[in-house]
């Protein structure tokens, strides 16, 4: 089994487990480490590629409803295997006010740690992980290729954080 295929078969971290840490550059090349967000909630959104139709629709829905995340004291981090240069152009074109992280090199390492890297196509699958202030995974969803995530599920999962 090649390393890429092994990465594709990695398990999705379980709800209740500690979120795997990583450091990736954002669209400006600034390093962003997941563990630096301890004390606040994080919505980690893996998506296949910048500028693609479903991905743009999903991220624009987050952009247009950012108050939902802010009200839950949640920071949105969106991750793809695109380069930081592509992500900078994408964020500027779409007006995203949250970090787009580049999992470009080592290719798909963060997506692999979360079990959402597709080694055959070289892209992340649509996976979302809501991580609480203690660094524990409280919600996960991984959608099949070509199927957008349900924004209503984000609302419900974020509301659950406020209760717990």
The residue extents of the domains of the chain are 3-163
pTM, whole model, 2 decimals?
0.91
* Interval 37-70: pLDDT, tens: 999 999 999 999 999 999 999 999 999 999 999 9
Catalytically annotated residue among 55, 62, 68, 74: 55
Helices (H), 41-150: 53-64, 66-71, 84-94, 109-113
The answer to whether the Cα torsion of 106, 21, 3, 120 is positive or negative is negative
Task: Fill in the DSSP letter of residue 134.
Answer: T
Q: What's the mean per-residue pLDDT of the chain?
A: 91
In contact, 33 and 135? CB cutoff 8 Å: no
Fold for 3-163, please state it.
Glutaredoxin (3.40.30)
In contact, 36 and 30? CB cutoff 8 Å: no
Q: Is 55 considered catalytic here? A: yes
């Amino acid at each position: 089994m090649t390393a890429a295929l092994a990465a594709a078969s990695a398990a999705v971290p379980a709800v209740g487990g500690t979120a795997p840490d990583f450091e990736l550059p954002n669209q400006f090349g600034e390093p962003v480490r997941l563990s630096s967000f301890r004390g606040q909630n994080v919505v980690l959104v893996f998506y296949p590629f910048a500028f693609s139709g479903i991905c743009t629709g999903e991220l624009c829905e987050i952009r247009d409803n950012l108050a939902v995340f802010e009200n839950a004291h949640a920071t949105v981090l969106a991750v793809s295997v695109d380069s930081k240069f592509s992500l900078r152009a994408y964020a500027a074109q779409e007006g995203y006010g949250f970090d787009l992280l580049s999992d470009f090199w080592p290719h798909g390492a963060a997506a692999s740690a979360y079990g959402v890297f597709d080694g055959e196509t070289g892209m992340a699958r649509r996976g979302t992980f809501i991580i609480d202030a203690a660094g524990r995974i409280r919600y996960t969803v991984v959608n099949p290729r070509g199927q957008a995530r349900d924004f209503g599920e984000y609302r419900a999962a974020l509301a659950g954080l406020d209760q717990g």
